Amino acid sequence: MKRRTVAHSVAKRGRGVWSGQEVTVRLEPAEAGHGLRARRDDCGVEIPLHVSGVRHTENCTVVGEPPHVVSSTEHLLSALSAFGITDVLIGLDGPEVPLFDGSAAAFAEMLQEAGSVELSGEVEPIPLTEPILVAEAERAILALPADEPAFGYVLDYAHPLIGRQFALYKPHRDDYATELAPARTFVTQEQAEALLRAGELRGGSEANAIVVYADHLSAELRLEQEFARHKILDLVGDLYLLGRPLLAHVIAYRTGHTENNALARRIAEEAKRNG
């Protein structure tokens, strides 16, 4: 896989769902070997976006060394993975990546606008030599050796408006911009109210997530199996914190960012052992 960066700088402003702050996110060209890095312009700190720097995984993925962290990295990283961007500087004037409408559509549009250019050098994919399983209670995620990547997700939720869903995404065969990027995050009314009471959802609204009420959804769905597709979107983003493409079939059952990052750490450890 050739190294790639964005051809032109591009920016978009939106609200951070956790802080409630308006934040501008910019994608800027970078040299080969720069990797995926975020620069907090509000505090002058540059943060490598790598699995080794993950500090928090409840509700979103947070990378960096407190107090200089970047929250909600998963949707942007998912889009960067799909567009093959290996080297980019992500400028932020706040503590988190804006959620926009709760999907990765805004980031896909930014990358389409920015274009991309090939850099010198290549990025070697990570091949698995054996299956890796992360399982706890009623959650499990399994990565199997494969010649090309594929991601599947089984969503099994007690709420009748969510229920059981299954989605499959094959990066080399499916169109990310139409089949995965538009899938929005979702939250039940009870979960949203609990987060609001805890003061953790300062910028949350029906504009940046699908709220699942007892008898209706806050918005019409865009895609079949949209909730399961969004879980794959998150999974792809979290695994791109490896900094290299992954050659594996990954199947997840009822998992979230915590399990995604646990799998990424296991894969990173195996890759290090195998050189």
Given a contact cutoff of 8 angstroms between Cβ atoms, the answer to whether 189 and 213 are in contact is yes
pLDDT (tens place) for every residue of the chain, 275 residues total? 899 999 999 999 999 999 999 999 999 999 999 999 999 999 999 999 999 999 999 999 999 999 999 999 999 999 999 999 999 999 999 999 999 999 999 999 999 999 999 999 999 999 999 999 999 989 999 999 999 999 999 999 999 999 999 999 999 999 999 999 999 999 999 999 999 999 888 999 999 999 999 999 999 999 999 999 999 999 999 999 999 999 999 999 999 999 999 999 999 999 888 86
Active site residues: 257
pTM recorded for the entire structure? 0.97
Answer whether the bond into residue 127 is a cis peptide, omega within 30°.
no
Where along the chain do its domains lie?
2-122, 126-273
CA distances in angstroms from 127 to 68, 145, 248, 275, listed in the order given: 32, 7, 7, 11
CB 237 within 8 A of CB 230: no
How confident is the model at residue 272, as a pLDDT? 86
Q: What's the pLDDT at 274?
A: 80
Cβ contacts of 73 within 8 Å, gap of 6 or more: 38, 49, 60, 61, 62, 63, 97, 237, 241
Superfamily of domain 126-273: lpxc deacetylase, domain 2 (3.30.1700.10)
Helices (H) and strands (E) in the chain, counts: 6, 18
> Smallest Cα–Cα separation from 189: which of 214, 221, 156, 163?
214
Distance CA 172, CA 254 (A): 25
* Interacting residues of 212 by C-beta distance below 8 A, sequence separation 6+: 159, 161, 162, 186, 187, 188, 189, 218
Tokens of 193: 């109210």
Determine the residue type at 80: L
Class of domain 2-122: alpha beta
Q: What is the pLDDT of residue 137?
A: 87
- The encoded tokens of residue 259 equal 């399990």
